[in-house]
A and B are shown apart, each in its own frame.
Chain A
Amino acid sequence: MEEYQRHSDEVGFNAEEAHNIVKECVDGVLGGEDYNQNNINQWTASIVEQCLAHLVKLGKAYKYIVTCAVVQKSAYGFHTASSCFWDTTSDGTCTVRWENRTMNCIVNVFAIAI
């Protein structure tokens, strides 16, 4: 990437903007749906691809990693953690938790400056 584009990295990753984008995508795909074994594959794929597409439209010089976990609601336990080795001034992450009556959804976005 060119040197002159690096000035946008000084602001760092805008986690709030990413949070809103992801929340809208998840609401759009899963809103009003019940957990369904047949559709789940398609839903996770749509959520992740739509999130990526919207993030790219922001036009920032970042590489993105988007992960999505969708779990059926039952008396289960689920933990997730992440650990990152990067430049804290320019890179960032954002996590969105979403739930409805039958399922929970966790989406993580990691943005790494080029």
Chain B
Amino acid sequence: MENTYQLGPTKHFPVVTVNSILKDVLTNYLQEEEYSPELCRQMTKTISEVIKAQVKELMIPRYKLVVTVHIGQCDGQSILIGSRCLWNPKSDTVSSYVFRNSSLFALANVYAIYFE
């Protein structure tokens, strides 16, 4: 891509819109589902593709996206998921949402990185 000679993005990443996209997608896909290995294996891949497609439709220019989805069984075990990023906090951001039902939990993260 060409140099823009701009100091920052003209249009910032809409975190709130993306939060609601994550909430809708996770709720629609997982509301009634029970945990099962085959289903969830497929679900993680499908959900991450769907989220990526919906966020791409927002057409925010010069932003690269990384979408990660974790789905696990709720079985009384303990899990901790953490992340750190080395980026430019003025232009880059992350959006995340956790969905829970009686048998499973799902965490979706969208990292948006400005291509300077």
Question: Which residues of A line the B interface, CB within 8 A?
Answer: 1, 3, 35, 37, 40-41, 44-45, 48-49, 52, 55-56, 63-72, 74-87, 91, 108, 110, 112, 114
A69 near B79: Cβ-Cβ < 8 Å: yes
Contact A84–B65 (Cβ < 8 Å) = yes
Other A-B contacts than A63-B86, A79-B43, 9 sampled, CB-CB below 8 A, are A44-B80, A44-B81, A48-B83, A55-B86, A63-B92, A69-B79, A71-B77, A83-B49, A83-B67
Residues of chain B at the chain A interface (Cβ within 8 Å): 3, 35, 37, 40-41, 43-45, 47-49, 51-52, 55-56, 64-73, 75-88, 92, 109, 111, 113, 115-116
Decide if B83 touches A80 in the complex (CB within 8 Å): no
Nearest Cβ distance between residue A54 and chain B, in whole angstroms?
Answer: 11
Task: Tell me if B85 and A79 are in contact (CB < 8 A).
Answer: no
Alpha-carbon distance A114/B67, docked complex (angstroms): 18
Chain B min CB distance to A85 (Å): 4
Is the Cβ of A82 less than 8 Å from the Cβ of B67?
Answer: yes
